[in-house]
């Protein structure tokens, strides 16, 4: 298998000079062609930051201080800006977390999808709208033609997330980055959305980097997974192996602290605070080391 995406020893810091805070501390992962890799972590782990670094959409105050990102054998960080921009939405697409704020509120759904298709695939307006209808049908939206004429506020949250999924797969990208796409959804809607992502990924032949905090979601949709904490990879491997035989104490602790509907309450074990403290101490020790090396 070949890797679509390789992230190697990535360091990202927020802020400048002495006040800079590291958010990624040498994180690395590979996403192979056609696979779904889960990137799991709690808040502050740096998982969304890693996704944004791949997309070239880091916040203005964040910067990559070291590392490589390779997409289909090409060095993304050495690429000129216009070329990299050209990949966005075309070869590397994003399913964003928040379906409420990720669509333009003053443009009809149809115009937003058609605009993307015209820009990247050079379709005529007519062909683009025709293709947009097919895409909405593909994400199981009934009456797709009518929905094309609606504004985002006129459709439900679940339906908005479907529109965003349709847009992500619209140009047959090689890689889709899904950034907690089901976090805001009810469980029954979440299941439908996960089913949809799986179906479209297969029919469009895309690989997916699935960013989430939910080990249950990872178990259901990801073949491989990477566990991130404080910007470092603590464990990675095939999902079936990691979940049944976790090697890192943090992964084991997270699994034991996840409430399960199929087990009585007595099984729940909170994450020992000492474990989290020691992981952060280790991260800060690494920060001090790299500071000293640079000085």
Partner 1 sequence: MTDILLRTGRLGFAYPEHGGLFRASTPREVIKDIDLAVPRGAVLGLVGESGSGKTTLGRLLVRLLTPTSGGIQFDGVEIGAIGEAEMRPLRARIQMIFQDPQSSLNPRLRLAVTLTRPLQVFGRLKGRRDQRDRAAALLDLVGLPTGFVDRYPHELSGGQRQRAGIARALALEPDFIVADEIVSGLDVSTQAHILLLLRELRARLGLTMVFISHDLSVVRVLCDDVAILNHGEVVEYGPVGRIFNSPQHAYTRQLLSAIPLPDVEPGWLDESSPIVTSHSQGSAA
Which residues are near partner 1 by CB under 8 A?
Answer: 42-43, 186-191, 194-195, 198-199, 213-221, 239-240, 243-244, 253-255, 257-265, 268-271, 276
**How many helices (DSSP H) and strands (DSSP E) are in the chain?**
11, 10
Tokens matching residue 72: 């289909």
Question: Residue 56 Cβ, how far from partner 1 at the closest point, in Å?
Answer: 28
E strand or H helix that includes residue 14 = strand 3-14
Question: Residue 257 Cβ, how far from partner 1 at the closest point, in Å?
Answer: 4
Question: Residue 236 Cβ, how far from partner 1 at the closest point, in Å?
Answer: 16
C-alpha torsion sign, points 134, 101, 28, 16: positive
Q: Which is nearer to partner 1, 88 or 283 (CB)?
A: 283
Question: Residue 260 Cβ, how far from partner 1 at the closest point, in Å?
Answer: 6
Nearest to 42 by CA among 240, 257, 243, 189: 257
Question: Residue 283 Cβ, how far from partner 1 at the closest point, in Å?
Answer: 15
Q: Which is nearer to partner 1, 2 or 244 (CB)?
A: 244
The residue to which tokens 């990872």 are assigned: 218
DSSP-based three-state secondary structure for 40? strand
Q: Which is nearer to partner 1, 55 or 179 (CB)?
A: 179
Nearest to 180 by CA among 279, 102, 112: 102
As a whole number of angstroms, the distance between CA 251 and CA 233 comes to 11
Over its C-alpha atoms, the chain yields an Rg (Å, rounded) of 20
Question: Rounded to a whole number, what is the largest CA-CA distance in the chain?
Answer: 63
The residue to which tokens 């976790």 are assigned: 246
Q: Which is nearer to partner 1, 84 or 213 (CB)?
A: 213
Q: Which is nearer to partner 1, 145 or 263 (CB)?
A: 263
Question: Residue 213 Cβ, how far from partner 1 at the closest point, in Å?
Answer: 7
Q: Which is nearer to partner 1, 64 or 219 (CB)?
A: 219
């Amino acid at each position: 298998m070949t890797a679509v995406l390789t992230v190697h020893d990535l360091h990202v810091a927020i802020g400048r000079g002495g006040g800079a805070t590291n958010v990624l501390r040498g994180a690395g992962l590979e996403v192979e062609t056609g696979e779904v890799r889960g990137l799991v972590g709690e808040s502050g782990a740096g998982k969304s930051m890693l996704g944004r670094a791949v997309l070239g959409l880091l916040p203005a105050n964040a910067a990559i201080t070291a590392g490589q990102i390779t997409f289909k054998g090409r060095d993304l960080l050495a690429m000129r800006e216009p070329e990299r921009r050209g990949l966005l939405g075309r070869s590397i697409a994003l399913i964003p977390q928040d379906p409420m704020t990720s669509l333009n509120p003053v443009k009809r759904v149809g115009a937003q999808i058609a605009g993307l298709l015209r820009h990247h695939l050079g379709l005529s307006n007519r062909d683009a709208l025709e293709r947009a209808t097919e895409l909405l049908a593909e994400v199981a939206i009934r009456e797709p033609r009518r929905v094309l004429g609606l504004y985002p506020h006129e459709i439900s949250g679940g339906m908005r997330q479907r529109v965003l999924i349709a847009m992500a797969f619209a140009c047959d990208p090689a890689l889709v980055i899904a950034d907690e796409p089901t976090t805001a959804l009810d469980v029954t809607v979440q299941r439908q959305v996960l089913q949809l992502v799986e179906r479209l990924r297969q029919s469009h032949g895309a690989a997916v980097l699935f960013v989430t905090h939910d080990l249950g979601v990872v178990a259901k949709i990801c073949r491989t997974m990477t566990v991130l904490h404080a910007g470092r990879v603590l464990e990675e491997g095939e999902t079936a192996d990691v979940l049944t035989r976790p090697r890192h104490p943090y992964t084991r602790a997270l699994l034991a602290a996840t409430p399960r509907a199929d087990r009585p309450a007595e099984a729940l074990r909170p994450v020992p605070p000492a474990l989290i403290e020691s992981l952060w101490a280790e991260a800060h020790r690494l920060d001090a080391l790299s500071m000293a090396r640079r000085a």
